[in-house]
């Protein structure tokens, strides 16, 4: 991955799981990091781990004004923005019949609209600074369907193709846009799925580990992929979809 020294990064959904691991790894590699999350206390705790100068931001990424404020505060604190990690996400485990309109709208707002809103604010800043890198968190279920997760699958499929469209549009500005698609990863969101489905957590996690590498992912597994795509080591990589799932999609 190399150093991230001198890079200025903003991570959404940074208070836990993949976002937390990404923020901490970016900081360990030398980046100045803004940690954005609906959970302000959690964001602050991660910023404390990231070290002096890290920024904690309370943000509901479904709302344009909050996204604008997050980018503005990051630029004010760091003097610019080089890396945006659109990681915030939620899941509702239900088919289309059981999903309410409000649930559908909220999943789409947090998982897809937020990528649009955050990127719309960040891209002009990056372009003015000579370029940058955006990494969006998709999902294996953005590349194939899954049971009882209609809104989530739809949202992550949208993230995958939005990534490609943004890469085409903004490559001439020196902005690379890529997507990481994790498989089941040991995060609070994954554990919440067991509760939503009414399954015992232990059995649910054991089933999630039934893939070629015989384990579920750890947040750090995905964070390393994100930081690679954000780094200069991936300077000729854009519009890519990097699957990090222990072989789950392989067969």
DSSP letter assigned to residue 217: B
Instruction: Give the C-alpha separation, 75 to 81, whole Å.
Output: 6
| Residue 21 in tokens | 């691991």
pLDDT of residue 1: 62
pLDDT of residue 3: 86
pLDDT of residue 251: 80
In the chain, which stretches have pLDDT less than 70?
1
* Nearest Cα residue to 24 out of 89, 75, 87: 87
| Residue 189 in tokens | 């969101």
Residue 89 backbone zone (phi > 0: left; psi -120 to 50: alpha; other: beta): beta
Q: Which residues are catalytic?
A: 152
Assess contact for 184 and 217: CB atoms under 8 A. Answer: yes
Instruction: Give the C-alpha separation, 161 to 156, whole Å.
Output: 9
| Domain residue extents for the chain | 8-185+220-239
Cβ neighbors of 85 (< 8 A, separation 6 or more) are: 9, 10, 11, 12, 14, 19, 22, 26, 134, 135, 137, 226, 230
Assess contact for 138 and 214: CB atoms under 8 A. Answer: no
DSSP letter assigned to residue 178: E
CA distance to 9, 15, 30, 42, 85, per residue, from 49 (Å): 15, 11, 13, 11, 18
Q: What's the CATH number of domain 8-185+220-239, 1.10.1740.10, 1.20.1440.230, 3.40.50.720, 3.30.420.40?
A: 3.40.50.720
Assess contact for 99 and 144: CB atoms under 8 A. Answer: no
Cα dihedral sign, 193-153-95-146: negative
CA distance to 42, 72, 182, per residue, from 237 (Å): 32, 27, 18
Instruction: Give the C-alpha separation, 136 to 159, whole Å.
Output: 7
Q: What is the DSSP string of 133-173?
A: EEEEE--GGGTS--TT-HHHHHHHHHHHHHHHHHHHHHGGG
* Nearest Cα residue to 34 out of 94, 87, 110: 87
89-146 residue pLDDT tens: 999 999 999 999 999 999 999 999 999 999 999 999 999 999 999 999 999 999 999 9
CA 232 to chain centre: 19
Instruction: Give the C-alpha separation, 35 to 206, whole Å.
Output: 31
């Amino acid at each position: 991955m190399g150093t991230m020294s001198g890079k200025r990064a903003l991570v959404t959904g940074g208070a836990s799981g993949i976002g937390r691991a990404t923020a901490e790894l970016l900081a360990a590699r030398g980046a100045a990091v803004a940690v954005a999350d609906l959970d302000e206390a959690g964001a602050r705790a991660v910023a404390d781990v990231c070290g002096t100068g890290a920024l904690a931001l309370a943000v509901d990424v479904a709302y344009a004004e909050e996204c604008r404020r997050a980018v503005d505060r990051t630029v004010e604190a760091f003097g610019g923005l080089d890396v945006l990690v659109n990681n915030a996400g939620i899941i509702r485990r239900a088919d289309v019949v059981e999903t309410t309109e409000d649930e559908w709208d909220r999943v789409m707002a947090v998982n897809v609209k937020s990528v649009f809103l955050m990127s719309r604010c960040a891209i002009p800043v990056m372009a003015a600074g000579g370029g940058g890198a955006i990494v969006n968190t998709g999902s294996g279920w953005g590349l194939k369907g899954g049971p009882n997760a209609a809104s989530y699958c739809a949202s992550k499929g949208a993230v995958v193709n939005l990534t490609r469209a943004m890469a085409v549009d903004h490559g001439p500005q020196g902005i690379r846009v890529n997507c990481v698609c994790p498989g089941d990863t040991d995060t609070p969101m994954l554990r919440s799925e067991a509760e939503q489905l009414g399954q015992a957590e232990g059995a649910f996690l054991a089933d999630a580990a039934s893939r070629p590498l015989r384990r579920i992912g750890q947040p750090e597994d995905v964070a390393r992929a994100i930081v690679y795509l954000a780094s200069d080591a991936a300077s000729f990589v854009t519009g890519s979809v990097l699957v990090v799932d222990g072989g789950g999609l392989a067969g």
